[in-house]
Amino acid sequence: MPEISRAYTSRMATPKEELTRLIERQPDDSSREEIVRELGFHVMVERGLADVDAGRTISHEEMGRRIRVARWRKT
């Protein structure tokens, strides 16, 4: 997670620079699948932070309601 907070406090890195640093921080014996999973996680966190910055959030109560409705529709 330090990489994410650093992106907000210093010069914004290009996506290539950001992902290159993320890959370089992985252990040398990481599999392709582990690296891809880590990259995907990083992208999802960045998207979430962008949503928060843009005010695209909902309350816990609203999320709970949506989950209950979705479960009800499945049955």
pLDDT band at 1 (very low <50, low <70, confident <90, very high): very low
Domain count, the chain: 1
Q: Which domain holds residue 39?
A: 2-74
pLDDT of residue 6: 47
Q: What is the pLDDT of residue 74?
A: 80
pLDDT attached to residue 30: 97
Six-digit token string for 66: 């949506």
Q: How far apart are CA 60 and CA 14, in angstroms?
A: 33
Rounded Cα–Cα distance for residues 23 and 73 (Å): 41
CA angle 28, 33, 36 (to 5 degrees): 90
pLDDT in tens, 8-65: 445 688 989 999 999 999 999 999 999 999 999 999 999 999 999 999 999 999 999 9
pLDDT given for residue 9 in this prediction: 43
